């Protein structure tokens, strides 16, 4: 069994949070969520509306027969299901490897319940080994990078990548993220930063970690 199977195990386990029926469902972005989307048509009757976190996910949802709604139309979400690049047992997440962090953070913020699905390689003691994605307004890229260097991080421009919002991404290596909430707040203060890939102020409510045997589920 490889990581794909572990992701699939996590995705399947997330269906339990749809089983009772959800009003509005938010769907994230990435290879783990991509294991979930093909399973959703069987739950169609239980889902009132779906909001997607990226153009890539919207395309897959359309293929699966769902017409996505905008968050403005739907209001708040009952459940949001998304993956992560890193997760801690304290429910703090590092996200944005796929570059969809801004819309993901908005949907997580608007959700009553945030279910994070990931394979066991994503579970870490401390966030930050995976480079931290930061979405920036294009004209601020160099300025934000200089501020990050002052914080002892090493910023790398994700060259050629444009987010769904028309912005750019800086991937920050070697940041010491001892206190994820504090770091999220600090990075958010830099002018030109749109979104930081730390999900600590609004972390997951439920962590579903897929492994060889099935899943391990923990809840706040």
Q: Annotated active-site positions, please?
A: 104
Per CB under 6 A, does 8 bind ligand 5RP?
A: no
Tell me the residue ranges of DSSP E strands in the chain. Answer: 22-27, 47-52, 77-82, 86-87, 93-94, 111-119, 132-136, 154-157, 168-173, 193-196, 198-199, 206-210, 215-219
Report the nearest approach of ligand 5RP to the CB of residue 99 (Å): 5
Q: What tokens appear for 70 in the block? A: 């905008």
Other beta carbons within 10 Å of 20: 9
Q: What tokens appear for 25 in the block? A: 């469902």
Please identify, using beta-carbon distances, which residue of 32 and 58 lies nearer to ligand 5RP: 32
Please identify, using beta-carbon distances, which residue of 46 and 173 lies nearer to ligand 5RP: 173
Measuring CA to CA, which residue among 186, 97, 114, 99 is closest to residue 150? 186
Options 78, 86, 92, 104; binder of ligand 5RP; rule CB under 6 A: 104
Options 101, 132, 140, 175; binder of ligand 5RP; rule CB under 6 A: 101
Per CB under 6 A, does 32 bind ligand 5RP?
A: yes
First-to-last CA distance in the chain?
Answer: 29
Per CB under 6 A, does 205 bind ligand 5RP?
A: no
Please identify, using beta-carbon distances, which residue of 45 and 159 lies nearer to ligand 5RP: 159
The closest residue (CB) to ligand 5RP is 30
d(CA 9, CA 108): 22
Using CB under 6 A, list all residues that contact ligand 5RP. 28-32, 82-85, 95-101, 104
């Amino acid at each position: 069994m490889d990581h794909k199977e572990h992701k699939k195990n996590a995705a399947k386990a997330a269906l339990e949070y749809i089983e009772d029926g959800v009003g509005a469902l938010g769907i994230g972005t990435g290879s783990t969520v991509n294991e979930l989307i093909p399973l959703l048509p069987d739950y169609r009757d239980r889902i009132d509306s779906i909001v997607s976190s990226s153009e890539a996910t919207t395309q897959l949802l359309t293929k699966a027969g769902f017409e996505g709604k905008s968050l403005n139309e739907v209001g708040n979400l009952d459940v949001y299901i998304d993956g992560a690049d890193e997760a801690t047992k304290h429910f703090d997440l590092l996200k944005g490897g796929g570059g969809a962090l801004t819309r993901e953070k908005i949907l997580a913020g608007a959700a009553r319940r945030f279910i994070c699905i990931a394979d066991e390689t994503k579970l870490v003691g401390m966030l930050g080994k995976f480079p931290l994605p930061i979405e920036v307004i294009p004209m601020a890229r160099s300025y934000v990078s200089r501020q990050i260097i002052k914080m002892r991080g090493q910023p790398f421009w994700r060259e050629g990548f444009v987010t769904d919002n028309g912005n750019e991404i800086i991937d920050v290596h070697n940041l010491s993220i001892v206190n994820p909430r504090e770091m999220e707040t600090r990075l958010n203060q830099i002018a030109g930063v749109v979104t930081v890939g730390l999900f600590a102020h609004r972390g997951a409510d439920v962590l579903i970690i897929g492994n060889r045997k099935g899943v391990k589920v923990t809840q706040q």
